[in-house]
Amino acid sequence: MEKVLEYLKKNNKRFIAELCEYVRFPSVSAQPKHRKDLKNCADWLTRHCRQIGLHTRLCPTAGNSILVARTRKPSRTSSKKGKSSKPHYLVYGHYDVQPAEPFDLWDSPPFEPSLRGTALFARGASDNKGQHLAHLNAVEAYLKTGTELPCDLTFVIEGEEEVGSRNLTDFLADHRKDLQCDGVVISDTGLIGPRHPTLTHALRGICALEVKLTGPSRDLHSGIFGGSVGNPAMALCQLLAQLRDKDGRIAIPGFYRDVAPLSAAERKHLARHPFNETAYRKFLGVAQLEGERGYTPIEQRSARPTLEINGLTSGYQGEGSKTIIPSWASAKLTMRLVPNQTPERIAKLVTAHLRKLCPRSVRIEVQEGHGGEPYFVSPDGIRLQAGLRALKTAFGHDPVLMREGGSIPIVNDFKKTLGADTLLLGLALPDDNAHSPNEKFDLGIFAKGMTMSAYLWRELAAIA
């Protein structure tokens, strides 16, 4: 291990230079004009993985190619002979980036890396190029120093994460056998701060619905008809208003039935997270927070289910006024789910309740949107504990366990297709500006991420 750490230290400058090279590719998957840049970026990454000494293949898909790079040559036969005795882990990352617009809000051009203070500013530096490069650097250190890697590793680095990973699910299904593994490691989440290395062990699920109420067959003159006919916009407001009670709880029968209660231990752990309410309010721009009574904001936004209105549309939206009773009104809703809620059951419950509450003066349509399961790994799990030990050793601070309020659909894909749990060891600081102008990646965290990765494989091998 000495040699590995020594190598990482000695080559730090080169690693930064390589990260600079890597972020120069404007690999924006959302914009067709960057198709070529994505290809060039993938080619660069392929060459880089080969130089390290990985068995690397760039696999074409219907969209952008997926890179697969292995520490161990894939066996051609299914005989036991060819099998390794080491545990096998997948490291996932993505080489595509978010659009950089609006360019004028950047202090330096998004695709010309700029070192300021301890951070490298560039689109993709933190999300996600710097983060998976940390893992690749750790592996390089093992390979180049002749130190035996305690695990077999397969890097799966795709080019369509920012546009919904549309070809990854099929790819995983097609390569199910080759990618069979003991677990997945992803560094694509956040850490609370340099003194709070973070392991994310839970993600919320999601359930999207659209509800539309239709009243009269066309917009009506509100003078001539107003008062004698139901107004779909008012009906919608009255319908949605009933979905949330005064305590901030979702007032839908059965909504909380499957919710796994937060353990006293976890609540205690979450209460130790650094959190400044004033700063949080200021960051959001609100005078007062609002949430489910009896839970802290951290719990509310990560460990409790929600129902949010994402959009409202009805009637006239232009300048001034138009005196109509709108023919229809609609709302987009998403529910965030926690273990053990399922999007199917929640969609059913919410739909049934909306239909039940809807007055007869309007017609209701509920359209189901996308759904995603919540994700949860027990904090007691041995792999998770191994991850925590690696974090502690690398950062020199007690790591914290975090639940993420959002969803990362690929984590469910890995679980469903490969049966593997995921360790989410994020290296992005809260102010790294992922998806925003002036994205940056802290180079101190970059170095600690490599060390963490180096320790991680030892820890994970030790429990096998």
* Residues 366 to 385 in contact with a copy of itself, rule: CB under 8 A: 369-370
Quote the DSSP letter at residue 428. B
DSSP string computed for 172-220: HHHTTTTT--SEEEE--SB-SBTTB-EEEEEE-EEEEEEEEEE-SSS-E
**CB of 405 vs a copy of itself, minimal distance in Å:** 5
Which structure tokens are listed for 313? 């549309």
Q: Which is nearer to a copy of itself, 62 or 284 (CB)?
A: 284
- Which of 79, 85, 276, 288 touches a copy of itself by CB under 8 A? 288
- Which of 47, 103, 170, 225 touches a copy of itself by CB under 8 A? 225
Contact in structure between 118 and 444 (CB atoms under 8 Å): yes
**CB of 41 vs a copy of itself, minimal distance in Å:** 26
SS3 236: helix
Contact between 284 and a copy of itself by CB under 8 A: the answer reads: yes
Q: Which residues of 12-46 are buried (b: 16+ CB within 10 A; e: fewer)?
A: eeebbebbbebbbbbbbbeeeebeebbbebbebbb
Q: Which is nearer to a copy of itself, 16 or 298 (CB)?
A: 298
Which residue type does 388 have? L
The verdict on whether 96 is a catalytic residue reads yes
Residue in 37, 96, 127, 421 annotated catalytic: 96
x-or-dash pattern for a copy of itself, window 243-262, by CB under 8 A?
Answer: -x------------------
Contact in structure between 439 and 129 (CB atoms under 8 Å): no
Q: Which residues of 284-323 are buried (b: 16+ CB within 10 A; e: fewer)?
A: eeeeeeeebeebbebbbbbbbbbbeeeeeebbeeeeeeee
**CB of 439 vs a copy of itself, minimal distance in Å:** 15
What sign does the dihedral 167-168-173-176 (CA atoms) show?
positive
| Whole-number Å distance between alpha carbons of 145 and 2 | 10
| Whole-number Å distance between alpha carbons of 433 and 441 | 9
Q: Which is nearer to a copy of itself, 61 or 361 (CB)?
A: 361
Contact between 9 and a copy of itself by CB under 8 A: the answer reads: no
Q: Which is nearer to a copy of itself, 65 or 314 (CB)?
A: 314
Q: Which is nearer to a copy of itself, 173 or 241 (CB)?
A: 241
Quote the DSSP letter at residue 406. S
Residues β-bridged to residue 329 = 213, 314
Q: Which is nearer to a copy of itself, 172 or 240 (CB)?
A: 240
- Which of 12, 40, 361, 385 touches a copy of itself by CB under 8 A? 361
Contact between 77 and a copy of itself by CB under 8 A: the answer reads: no
Q: Which stretch binds a copy of itself (CB under 8 A): 193-201, 221-229, 373-381, 456-464?
A: 221-229
The verdict on whether 107 is a catalytic residue reads no
- Which of 251, 309, 352, 464 touches a copy of itself by CB under 8 A? 309
- Which of 184, 220, 388, 450 touches a copy of itself by CB under 8 A? 220
Q: Which is nearer to a copy of itself, 96 or 404 (CB)?
A: 404
Within residues 156-175, the interface with a copy of itself by CB under 8 A covers none
Per-residue CA distances from 253 to 244, 250, 258, 349 (Å)? 11, 9, 12, 8
Contact between 301 and a copy of itself by CB under 8 A: the answer reads: yes
| Whole-number Å distance between alpha carbons of 80 and 96 | 37
Query: Total residues contacting a copy of itself (rule CB under 8 A)?
Result: 80
* Residues 281/287/292/296 CA torsion (nearest 10 deg): 30
- Which of 206, 394, 400, 461 touches a copy of itself by CB under 8 A? 206
Within residues 399-418, the interface with a copy of itself by CB under 8 A covers 404-407
The size of the chain, in residues, is: 464
**CB of 411 vs a copy of itself, minimal distance in Å:** 13
Within residues 226-245, the interface with a copy of itself by CB under 8 A covers 226-231, 233-234, 236-238, 240-242, 244
Contact between 271 and a copy of itself by CB under 8 A: the answer reads: no
Q: Which is nearer to a copy of itself, 271 or 382 (CB)?
A: 271
Contact in structure between 121 and 436 (CB atoms under 8 Å): no
x-or-dash pattern for a copy of itself, window 317-346, by CB under 8 A?
Answer: x--xxxxxxx--x-xx-x-x----------
Contact in structure between 371 and 205 (CB atoms under 8 Å): yes
Residue in 18, 37, 127, 161 annotated catalytic: 161
Tokens 């539309």 correspond to what residue? 212
**CB of 287 vs a copy of itself, minimal distance in Å:** 6
Give phi and psi for 311, each to the nearest 5.
-170, 150
Which residues, other chains included, contact 452 with Cβ-Cβ below 8 Å and sequence gap of 6+?
134, 197, 390, 391, 393, 394, 395, 425
Q: Which is nearer to a copy of itself, 276 or 321 (CB)?
A: 321
Please give the positions annotated as active site. 96, 161
